[in-house]
Structure 1
Amino acid sequence: MKINRTIQKKKRKKRVARDLPSRKERKTTWLNLLPDDVWLRVKRGITIYEALQHTDLDMNFECGGLGTCGKCKIRIVTALGPPDQQEEKLLTRDELDSGVRLACRTRIKKSLVVYTDMRRDREEMFQILKHGVVCDIKIEPLIEKVPARIAPPDTAHGDSDFKRLRNALGPGYQHIKVTHQCLASLYKNLRQTAFSGEALLHQGCLLSWAPAGSAYGRYGVIFDIGTTTLVGKLIDLTDGREKAVISRLNSQTRYGTNVIRRIEFIRTNPKGLQRMQQLLMRDLNAIVRRLVYAADIDKAYIFIAVAAGNTTMQHILLGLDPSDIAVAPFTPVITEGVSFPSADVGLDINRDAMLYVMPAKSGYIGGDLISFILSSMIWEQEKKIILGLDFGTNGEIFLGNGRRLLSCSAAAGPALEGARISCGMIAKSGAIESFRIVKDQLQYNIIGNVKPRGLCGSGLVDLTALLAHHGAVDVEGLLSPMGLKKDERLFQTRLTPHSDAAVFDFTIATETESFHGRRILLSQKDIRELQLAKSAVAAGVQLLMQEMGINAQQIDEIYLAGALGNYVNPLSAMRIGLIPTIDRHRVLSLGNAASTGATMALLSRSYWETALTLADQIEHIELSLHPDFYDTFIEQMNFPDQDLW
């Protein structure tokens, strides 16, 4: 594998055009205001009231932020601590139970999502991961802006406008092509700029002529096309900074929560593929409209877009039939990275803009994992061995470094996303995302700070690890009070026999404590579903280590990506055997790594070429065909018999 040599040559082309985050930036965080999805970078420690003073948001601050009127009501979506005494005094119990807080009393100590329009409080709120860990970007965009001063028309030579433009650009541009849209407006644009301006070029093709220093071609967009959620970012191509970030749920979820169900819909409906693509493009164009509105720019300024998603979602984006991805040998139509006019798929930005779609490796190793690998910078490592995991219904895994890099996909099933769990749900308002024991009391964090509705994936992992640590779940996954210590009264009172079998349920919240008036519990069946999911992932990791000839102690770092990877407690993931047991400080979350990798490709042609190289040279291990997979899967079913805290 010769990835490093290629990258080293490319690194000498451009100097870093972006500084590391300043000390001031590290002292700030994000405040997301819903329902308008406005993002503010604010200083850590100030109140939401103080952060809103410089916005156009119309809220009632009758007492001037003194905390006496109780009218600056907001709803906190992000998990937060209990209300303070003044909020207990000024807000009703129903309001507190539904996550309402006072803007003047809530300090911003971490990134927060805040719902400010209390008239729409019945809408559901989802926890969507938008940001990732951004490295230094070598600014070398996929489109280039070349300044030029063109000679005016000359009767002595009679050269055309286009020929004089080529001559003005220089010897290296004598064979450039031109789009029809650009050519149709060239006469007017040249004369409006007095023949002095900038040529916007893409791979030897003139896309537009614009005034010098104008915003045309200054911006690009990236899309992280997830099965459940979509994220779009507007990027300034001059300095690499995010100008706006918008997310929304994928409208395709009405036809199934996973790609297999959507492929089945496409296979059984004559216009199924057309319908799926229409829904996706409607969502992406809605994101574009919100991005340009938030940044106060014209969509015509955007000349480049990059999309990353799993292989099925990228096929739907391109209008390609993904049917064969669902059946052996899981063959996609294309895995190569491609670029073409964005108008071909109906993306509503500049008519001459280009759309790049990230390369994939196989039917289940998509452009999102390639983007994850790109953003991890693993290909620059010579000695460290890195394990990367993106959890989901299809768990995507990579292992290695710049010398050799292996990948596989594990059919984990939907348990890690809260599906097939008795009281499971996706990470939205009311989902319990984490657990802890404080002063012999079971406490949990709830998305939206409302009464609990159920468990999301990170909460399921956290609770199971906690039960295993205290003996309520044994090595084989049996939920029972038999292994508890005598003084574990907290767990003994919550373990109740199941009605129709000699097994137990664990009560998380009673009927009076839950949002919907029903008991929230963890059942024996739920633990079995988690065992199946974690066993598939762990087996994938084990077989990659076996192929690499290493053991868990030789893994230097573990990188986690995606929503579950960002919110799960690493110790809990290790306690149940979802990831190998190493020093917890060497387990790092890269956030939305897919969007980070797509941004790198957008801002630097060399990173795009690196992504193509990575996709070509990664070794893919097909677990379903591996002779040791079944035995390894069975071996990984048990929980480790090791306490980590």
Structure 2
Amino acid sequence: MKKEKNLKRQNRGHLSELPAQKYRLGGVWLNVLPDDLWLRISTGESVWEALQNTDVELESDCGGMGTCGKCKIKVLSEIGPPSTQERELLNEWELNQGIRLACRTRVFRDMVISTTEAEREEEYLKILTTSHHLTHRYIPTPELAPLISKQRLTLSPDIQQDGLSDLDAIKLGLGSEYNDLKAPLNCLHSLPQKLKKTQSRGTAVLHEHCLLDWQTQDKADSRYGLVFDLGTSTLVGKLFSFADGSEVAVASCLNSQSRRGADVISRLKFIREHPEGLESLRRLVVNDLNQLTSHLLSSAGLHLEDIFIAVAAGNTTMQHILLGLSPVGIAEAPFSPVLTDGLVVNAREVGLRLHPSALLYVMPVKSGYIGGDLLSFMLTSGVTEQEDEIILGLDLGTNGEIFLGSGKRLLTCSTAAGPALEGARISHGMIAKAGAIEGVSFEEGELHYRVIGNIKPKGICGSGLVDLVAVLLCCGIIDQEGLIRPPQQGVAEGLHSRIINQAGVNDFLIASPEESYDSRPVYLTQKDVRELQLAKGAIAAGIKTLMDKIGIGTQDIGHVYLAGALGNYVAPYSTIRIGLLPAVNLEIVRSLGNAASTGASLILLVKRYWQTAAELAQFIEHVELSNRADFNQYFIKHMDFPEESLQPDSIATKQTA
């Protein structure tokens, strides 16, 4: 459920209060508050289905499958008994308050619902926008060679009196290097008027040997470009100056496609089942990118017509959707995308509101699950520049994308880790926003939580989940097989009261009603631990498979780079303690932050990296894990947690190392 500040509930909870002219029509009415949206829907249609083509947003990790329990609504009119799934996923208090799941609530008579709760605090979303690796990949000003350049020109009157075309006059002004200069039609349409207005003294905007526009001379130093990180959950936009390569502004938002499913698989399913599904998802992401662009430009005092270039990087499915290419081939073996090459298109063809001649570079990909975001990560890491040192890189998310190797040989794979590492399918899991526990430590016999927004906890996000399980392993509350059990006598004995036995299964009480934000208990359940074991087991098995194939041991790994939101915020020690990473020296583990946007910015600022990215896509060897017996064997083996006898008092120190 969303929350709304100072929500005034409108008294429309009974059918007798529905507008008469609406009530007389056939079918049933669904009244959605607080927007006061009236929807005429088919009898028996679910609330989830009814809201799919509206702007109403509901949380969901499963895309309406009835398994995540997050598409909560409050029914204000007459309501029947809850479904089996609702009894399993909602607590008694919620059921008594009329809380239901939109995907399980079918409308057989006129219904009034609210998608919000009262007394909303300001929402704070923790979205990773920066990179900690900028100093390593810093580009000195003399080495900048952006995708777009500008040249001041003063055309000789003699040239124009010779009967030359306007474009030929500009060719002569630029010199023999540009004898093959071309221009798009929209540029040629306005060229005569602009030359006349500037009296042939202006600025040529150039992309390779193509004239994109003719501007006034004062625009010569106004050189900017955009980078977009197309994340499944979040979108990040960055504005760069070509004068010095600096990051001028950053903006981010949640990906609006999430209303059609929290992960790639849910969205592929939506596209397959809805004839207009692809276009619907494309419009959502384009609208988001246009809003980000507007924020970025307004913060820098620029206009849409000032931007001639943008670079986008995302997973293969996200890039396909942005381009309007069907990604359904990625959903099943042999997982074939429509396109793996990088693409340069007119930005307005995609729907981006930039200069009419602006270009959009979309990253090359290797396969259906090794996308432009991982190639950008590789560029950021500099792995191909290392001849002798082995680098392990992980982008931790629903699909754990991994690379291992050097400039001599580089392997990649993608593991179906599931959404647990992003807080989904966890009983009290949530994305990284206000109220989410993002870090856990054990000091002086007590648990300490780091909560986003500095408020009482509402739930736990991926980094907090990894931390918590690592702490409980060290305390002996979770054993090697993943079972929650009372601790042995010792420094963790004070946590014994937090072991709650429910129906013969132990859960761990993270926060009591008195300790939580909404006065409801927050648990780590035995099922939650199993979900994490599945996720970390898949990633660990993928790493081990690549290590075997390249013929190295743990001691041969020179650096480990983590990318993505989880990779940035999770404690490196915790990833090793739960067995997600091999037992490497902590000193070689480093987060690269938002590596996808950093890699894309390298291309924006130094055009030779575009060719490097294309060569990288050809150079890497992708290892398909789905049909490998060794991966399956390793997966089973790595489901268990590693054995380690550490004193709990040392956990806080190691987690902050």
SS of the residue aligned with 1:432? strand
Aligned partner of 1:472 in structure 2 is: 477
Q: Deviations over 1:375-432 (max 9, x none)?
A: 1111111111110000000000000111111100010001101111111111111100
SS at match of 1:553: helix
Q: Helix, strand or coil: the match of 2:252?
A: strand
Offset of residue 215 of structure 1? 5.5
Task: Write the distance in 1 (CA, Å) between the matches of 2:422 and 2:625.
Answer: 22
Match runs of 1:503-582 below 5 Å: 503-582=505-584
Question: Hey, what's the Cα distance between the residues in 1 that align with 2:188 and 2:588?
Answer: 55
Equivalence for 2:600: 598
Q: Closer, same or farther in 2 for the Cα pair 1:487/1:240, shift >3 Å?
A: closer
Please give the alpha-carbon distance, in whole angstroms, between the structure 1 residues aligned to 2:259 and 2:470.
33
Aligned to 1:496: 500
Q: Select the residue among 347, 354, 362 that pairs with 1:357.
A: 362
Once the two structures are TM-superposed, the CA of residue 216 in structure 1 deviates from its matched residue by 7.5
State the match for 1:411 in structure 2. Answer: 416
Higher deviation after alignment, 191-200 or 335-344:
191-200
Deviation at 1:149, TM superposition (A): 2.4
For 1:131, the equivalent position in structure 2 comes to: 130
| Aligned-partner SS, 2:626 | helix
Matched, 1:222 2:227: yes
Q: Structure 1 residue 200: deviation in Å?
A: 1.2
What per-residue deviation string (whole Å, max 9, x for no partner) do you get for residues 522-565 of structure 1? 11111111100000000000000001100111111100000000
TM-score of the superposed pair, with normalisation by structure 1: 0.79
Structure 1 residue 271 corresponds to structure 2 residue 271: no
Take 2:164 and 2:468, find their aligned partners in 1: how far apart are those partners? 75
The offset of 1:172, in angstroms, is 1.6
Task: Give the aligned partner of residue 489 of structure 2.
Answer: 485
Q: Which runs of 5+ in 1 are unaligned?
A: 1-118
Q: Which residue of 2 aligns with 1:105?
A: none
SS across alignment from 1:623: coil
Superposed CA deviations along residues 4-40 of structure 1, whole A, max 9, x for unmatched, are xxxxxxxxxxxxxxxxxxxxxxxxxxxxxxxxxxxxx
1:299 is aligned with what amino acid? Answer: L
Q: Does the CA contact (< 8 Å) of 2:413 and 2:625 recur in 1? A: yes
Aligned-residue offset at 1:452: 0.4
Residue 147 (structure 1) aligns with:
152
Distance 1:285 1:161, change over 3 A: same
For the pair 1:285 / 2:290, whether they are aligned, the reply is: yes
Q: Compute the TM-score of the two structures, normalised by the length of structure 2.
A: 0.78
Equivalent pairs, count: 524
Deviation of the 1:439 alpha carbon: 2.6
* Aligned partner of 2:166 among 143, 158, 161: 161
**CA 1:203 to 1:215, structure 2 compared with 1: closer, same or farther past 3 Å?**
closer
With CA pairs under 8 Å and 6+ residues apart, which has the higher RCO, 1 or 2?
A: 1
* 8 A contact 1:256–1:262 mirrored in 2: yes
**Stretch deviating more after TM superposition (540-549 or 167-176):** 167-176
Deviations 1:599-641 (A, max 9, x none): 1111111111111111111000001022311111111111111
Check whether the contact 2:364–2:617 (CA below 8 A) recurs between aligned residues: yes
CA distance in 1, matches of 2:581, 2:537: 10
- Equivalent pair of 2:508/2:524 in contact (CA under 8 Å): yes
| Counterpart contact for 1:216–1:301, Cα < 8 Å | no
Deviation at 1:214, TM superposition (A): 1.1
Whole-angstrom CA distance in 2 between matches of 1:311 and 1:346 = 19
Residue range with higher mean Cα deviation, 623-632 or 314-323 = 623-632
Partner Cα separation in structure 2 for residue 226 and residue 554 of structure 1: 32
Amino acid at match of 1:541: I
Q: For residue 121 of structure 1, report the CA deviation from its aligned partner.
A: 5.8
Q: What residue number does 1:175 align with?
A: 180
Matched AA of 2:168? K
In structure 1, the partner of 2:18 is none
Look up the equivalent residue of 2:493 and give its one-letter code: R
Distance 1:182 1:270, change over 3 A: same
> Residue 185 of structure 1: which of 177, 190, 208 is its match?
190
Mean alpha-carbon deviation: is it higher for 264-273 or for 202-211? Answer: 202-211
Distance 1:490 1:349 in 2: 60
Deviation at 1:466, TM superposition (A): 0.6
Asked if residue 587 in structure 1 is aligned to residue 592 in structure 2, the reply is no
Q: Is the 8 A contact 1:153 1:159 kept in 2?
A: no
Aligned counterpart, 1:330: 335
The question of whether the paired residues in 2 share the 8 Å contact of 1:471 and 1:485 is answered with no
Note if contact 2:445-2:491 (Cα within 8 Å) is conserved in structure 1: no
Question: Percent of counterpart pairs with the same letter?
Answer: 52
Q: 1:213–1:400: structure 2 CA closer, same or farther, 3 Å change rule?
A: farther
CA shift digits 1:347-395 (9 cap, x unpaired): 0011100000011111001100000000111111111111000000000
Residue 478 of structure 1 and its aligned partner are, at CA, apart by: 1.3
Q: Structure 2 CA distance, aligned partners of 1:374 and 1:487?
A: 46
Deviating more after overlay: 328-337 vs 211-220: 211-220
Whether the aligned pair in 2 keeps the contact of 1:216 and 1:302 (CA below 8 Å) is: no
| The one of 208, 217, 238 aligned to 1:212 | 217
- Contact 1:575-1:643 at 8 Å conserved across structures: no
Note the 1:329-348 alignment, pairs <5 A: 329-348=334-353
